[in-house]
Amino acid sequence: GAGVSQSPSNKVTEKGKDVELRCDPISGHTALYWYRQSLGQGLEFLIYFQGNSAPDKSGLPSDRFSAERTGGSVSTLTIQRTQQEDSAVYLCASSLERLAAGELFFGEGSRLTVL
């Protein structure tokens, strides 16, 4: 597709279960970002990839959160042993290069609900 694709769009899970959220960036985009948006809140940075490496993972809230990117393309955000406070919309974005002026293109997000 032409834009950033995220799946699933909605995920309901039980507390304690693991979840995986997928992001497929725009083809050729080397930079990829994960953000979290809680209800009515701003965007909280989680992690940034340049290629397959993550030079900034300072926003990951705990060791239950991890992310990887393979082949410089698809990225997976994994949340282990989910908690109710993990409920949020997880947004992925990509950009053509790491230059500061570059526009970030966002996906529509994955809404996670932890019961």
- Number of residues binding to other proteins, judged by CB under 8 A: 25
DSSP result, 26-70: PTT--EEEEEEE-TT--EEEEEEEETTEEEE-TT--STTEEEEE-
Instruction: Establish if 41 lies at the interface with other proteins (CB under 8 A).
Output: yes
Rounded to whole angstroms, how far apart are CA atoms 27 and 109?
Answer: 18
Site for other proteins in 47-106 (CB under 8 A): 48, 55-56, 59, 89, 91, 93, 98-104, 106
Q: Which is nearer to other proteins, 30 or 76 (CB)?
A: 30
Binding site for other proteins (CB under 8 A): 31, 33, 35, 41-43, 45, 48, 55-56, 59, 89, 91, 93, 98-104, 106-109
